[in-house]
Amino acid sequence: KTLNPVFNETFQFGVPLAELHSRKLHFSIYDFDRFSRHDLIGQVVVDNLLDFSEGTGEKPIWRDIVEGTA
């Protein structure tokens, strides 16, 4: 119930290193309507996952949400 939602979420995916160059993560963000259709707020696509594989530990990746198309 806000025009400026905050998403404080953490995601972890186990992907073999050999497959990182050909993988993308596509996140679609929807609002929740209990009695009608959920509306698409926006989308985020993270590619070049091999660039993020170096190092150890967790490394946050930040992306802006872009307007989605249904």
The pLDDT value recorded for residue 70 is 59
Specify the residue for token string 């963000």. 29
Residue 15 has pLDDT above 70, yes or no: yes
Q: Is residue 55 predicted with pLDDT exceeding 70? A: no
Flag whether pLDDT at 43 surpasses 90: yes
pLDDT for res 18? 87
Q: What is the pLDDT of residues 16-36, one digit of tens each?
A: 888 888 888 888 988 877 888
Q: How far apart are CA 68 and CA 59, in angstroms?
A: 26
User: Within 10 Å of residue 42's Cβ, how many Cβ atoms?
Assistant: 14
Structure tokens of 44?
């985020």
What is the rounded distance in angstroms from the CA atom of residue 34 to the CA atom of residue 50?
39
Beta bridge partners of 51: none
For the chain, the average pLDDT equals 80
